[in-house]
Amino acid sequence: MLKQAVILVGGLGTRLGARTKLLPKPLLDAGGKPFLDYLLDEVSRYPTMERILLLAGHRAEQVVERYDGRTWRCASVSVVCEPTQLGTAGALKHAAAQLDPQFVLLNGDSFFDFNLLDLAASDSPAMVCVALKKDHPGDRYGRVLLERNSVKRFLPPGTQSSGPINTGIYRIDRSILDLIDELPCSLEQSIFPRLVEIEQFEAALYDGFFIDIGIPEDLERARRELPARMRRPAVFFDRDGVLNVDKAYVHKVKDFDWIPGAREAIKLCNDRGYFTFVVTNQSGVARGYYGIDAVHRLHDWMSDELAEVGAHIDEFQYCPYHVDGTVEQWRRASDRRKPAPGMILDCFDGWPVQTEASFLIGDNTHDVQAAVAAGIVGHLFKGPDLEAFVRPLLGDRQD
């Protein structure tokens, strides 16, 4: 399971002229905040991505000052600075001691809206697997020629105006460092062609919004479009009876059985670009059957299970309160306990949710009442297969 994302933020950004003379390109404003913040927001959505490593070069001190040592959602952020311009491969070589055996690598000047965990969970044996956008109009980008999933050739920009493009997002094996001999060194120009020759470079195709800010026109487009693109519809899942078999007060892994199609349903929502949340009443805490730690352990285990199939929950919301509780700390009424809408509203407050297309799936009327109180649609699920139930409810956000 991949737990590290590495982001290249060291380029000079020469095509942007004076804009990047005193500022690293990924720190340029893109609609009210630095472009890099959008990447960190996106990567940190995935709960198994515990560490984010920024590889800085040009004006590295600004990257260190803003990001080093921070926690972004639940991911720790650290920065490694190049002593000189080492190239994209050289930056990896310089940071060798801090790289996991496998990691996800992203370019700090491009954004691609797709399910990153699908790429991370790939069972490809290749040293590198790249995320390709299926098609992108125009002559600015080079194209990638494939034979099945194997990359056979990189075509330079202007060669053809259609076909898949390299988005600059890769799942990489740390053994790639053995191929980096002299510095400075470029992944794109020196290392990737060698991997193609030895059939160690594979690809996965995705749709989704893509932009890079390498030229002024696209930087301006990012400023116009990115804030709105971050607003997503959400699917809210009740837990017991929807994601797992309801055995009453489930809090141990050994008692947890996935509902048929549950993991596949969550992945489908991820692939379609929806936020996914769990909103679950956990009165067993108030009744003294188990503690808060047990809830967290089970949800962490669920995240690991989901990551194995390329899926994730953006946030687990739970309510431990009940008016009839035996544990004084948790014995009270709460506007977070369904049928009250508090857990859903807290997700609205913490995430850029597009409420109009959002909905909840529950297994009783309290779930539906909570959804209606929050201003979204509620659906009752009675089995047998959650993916089959969810599929017709989803629209397609990809473009």
Report, as residue numbers or ranges, the catalytic residues: 238, 240
Strand order in the sheet with 51-56: 71-72, 75-81, 51-56, 4-9, 102-107, 165-173, 128-133, 201-206, 150-155, 143-147
Name the E strands within the chain.
4-9, 51-56, 71-72, 75-81, 102-107, 110-112, 128-133, 143-147, 150-155, 165-173, 201-206, 210-212, 234-237, 275-281, 315-319, 359-362, 377-380
3-state SS of the chain: helix, strand, coil percent to 5? Answer: 35, 25, 40
Angle (deg, nearest 10), helices 35-43 and 216-229: 40
349 class by beta-carbon count within 10 Å (0-12 exposed, 13-18 middle, 19+ buried) = exposed
CA dist list (Å): 160 to 131, 143, 145, 148, 156: 19, 7, 11, 20, 9
